[in-house]
């Protein structure tokens, strides 16, 4: 599907658009969760991020957590029907002194029956990708965040292609890929369509959808009005139509949508939820998500 066709679809009557995207949605929802295993002091200048050392957000910074803490949080996630669990660390690339410990965390998650390991630890080199695959990592998460054309407005300390190269390494070494975006950072409708098409080329297994939660003292702190609920739904529908084989997943910022629109999205374009809290923002109580999915008549895929 080309850009012009997707733009035409984006501007259709909303009910008609969601009816089209709903044709690609299965009657089940996959839950995942994470541990923020190292927080803050990131060298990159991503304008949305509370963890960037370029901005004075007064966020709590801490080094890599202990292995037992990872196991504890992973077991809690499993009790909330999560089938995937991610170890997440701040920083452009995996810290060399921490990399071996992160590998041990992944192996620990893999020991938990019914839980698949994920990791989100930054831009990888070839050797790191190879080691992660050999360690048994099931899925690696690395977002493109926005379209290639808009990326310089979001970050200048690394490039969109740096992110793409990591996605290619993940697939080269046989791991599943989780690759998505952050909506509402000032991108145009056309650039949202570009994201959908760029993801279609990358072909991730999972596409996490974040909606910007503006953080005080970051350059995007005043960006609360850059996208509304209707345009979030339109974007989700376009992403699903362009990526019918990928699971669209609600992640950070979902709470900007009303309960009604969260349910509408789950019926028409979204098949995954990151349950619990996120890296630096609050999510929804897992029990509420379990109840919502059941009320929609959907199965939790665990």
pLDDT tens digits, one per residue of 19-30: 999 999 999 999
26 burial level (CB within 10 Å; 0-12, 13-18, 19+): exposed
Phi, then psi, of 248 in degrees rounded to 5: -80, 135
CA atoms within 13 A on the CB side of 50: 15
pLDDT tens digits, one per residue of 155-214: 999 999 999 999 999 999 999 999 999 999 999 999 999 999 999 999 999 999 999 999
Residue recorded with tokens 């989780």: 178
**Is 296 domain-assigned?**
no
Two tokens, residue 221: 């702190």
**Is 41 domain-assigned?**
yes
Phi, then psi, of 108 in degrees rounded to 5: -65, -40
DSSP string for 173-229: TT-EEE--EEE-SS--HHHHHHHHHHHHHH--SEEEEEE--PPTTSTTTTGGGSS-H
* 104: CATH: 3.20.20.70
**Is 201 domain-assigned?**
yes
Average pLDDT over residues 50-66: 80
**Is 189 domain-assigned?**
yes
Q: Which of the four pLDDT bands, split at 50, 70 and 90, describes residue 285?
A: confident
pLDDT value, residue 107: 97
Residue 65's domain comprises 3-289
**Coil vs helix vs strand at 87:** strand
Query: Using alpha carbons only, what angle is made at residue 178 by residues 36 and 299, rounded to the nearest 5 degrees?
Result: 90
Q: Which of the four pLDDT bands, split at 50, 70 and 90, describes residue 55?
A: confident
Residue recorded with tokens 């909330």: 80
Average pLDDT over residues 74-93: 92
Phi, then psi, of 286 in degrees rounded to 5: -55, -40
**Is 297 domain-assigned?**
no
pLDDT value, residue 14: 98
What's the structural domain count of the chain?
A: 1
Dihedral sign, Cα of residue 292, residue 294, residue 295, residue 297: positive
Judge whether residue 280 has pLDDT over 50.
no
**Is 134 domain-assigned?**
yes
pLDDT value, residue 277: 55
Phi, then psi, of 172 in degrees rounded to 5: -60, -40
pLDDT tens digits, one per residue of 201-217: 999 999 999 999 999 99
**Is 299 domain-assigned?**
no
% of residues, the chain, pLDDT over 90: 83
Report the predicted TM-score, pTM, of the whole model to 2 decimal places.
Answer: 0.94
pLDDT tens digits, one per residue of 234-272: 999 999 999 999 999 999 999 999 999 999 999 999 999
**Is 298 domain-assigned?**
no
């Amino acid at each position: 599907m080309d850009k012009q066709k997707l733009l035409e679809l984006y501007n259709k009557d909303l009910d008609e658009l969601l009816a089209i995207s709903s044709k690609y949605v299965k009657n089940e929802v996959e839950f995942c969760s994470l541990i923020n295993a190292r927080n803050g002091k990131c060298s990159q200048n991503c304008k949305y991020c509370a963890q960037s050392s370029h901005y004075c957000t007064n966020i709590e910074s801490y080094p890599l957590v202990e292995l037992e803490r990872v196991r504890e949080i992973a077991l809690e996630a499993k009790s909330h029907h999560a089938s995937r669990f991610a170890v997440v660390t701040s920083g452009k690339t995996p810290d060399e002194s921490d990399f071996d410990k992160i590998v041990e965390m992944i192996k620990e998650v893999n020991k938990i029956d019914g839980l698949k390991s994920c990791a989100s630890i930054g831009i990888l080199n070839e050797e790191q990708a190879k080691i992660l695959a050999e360690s048994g990592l099931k899925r690696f998460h690395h977002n493109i965040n926005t379209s290639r054309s808009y990326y310089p407005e979001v970050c200048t300390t690394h490039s969109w292609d740096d992110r793409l190269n990591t996605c290619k390494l993940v697939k080269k070494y046989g791991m599943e890929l989780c690759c998505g975006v952050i909506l509402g950072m000032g991108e145009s409708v056309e650039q949202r369509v570009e994201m959908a098409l760029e993801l279609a080329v990358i072909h991730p297994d999972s596409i996490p959808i974040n909606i910007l939660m503006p953080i005080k003292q970051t350059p995007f702190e005043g960006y609360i009005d850059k996208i509304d609920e209707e345009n979030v739904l339109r974007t989700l529908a376009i992403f699903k139509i362009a990526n019918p084989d990928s699971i669209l997943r609600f992640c950070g910022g979902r709470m900007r949508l009303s309960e009604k629109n969260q349910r509408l999205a789950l019926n028409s374009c979204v098949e995954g939820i990151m349950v619990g809290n996120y890296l630096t923002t609050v999510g929804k109580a897992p029990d509420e998500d379990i109840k919502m999915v059941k009320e929609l008549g959907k199965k939790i895929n665990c």
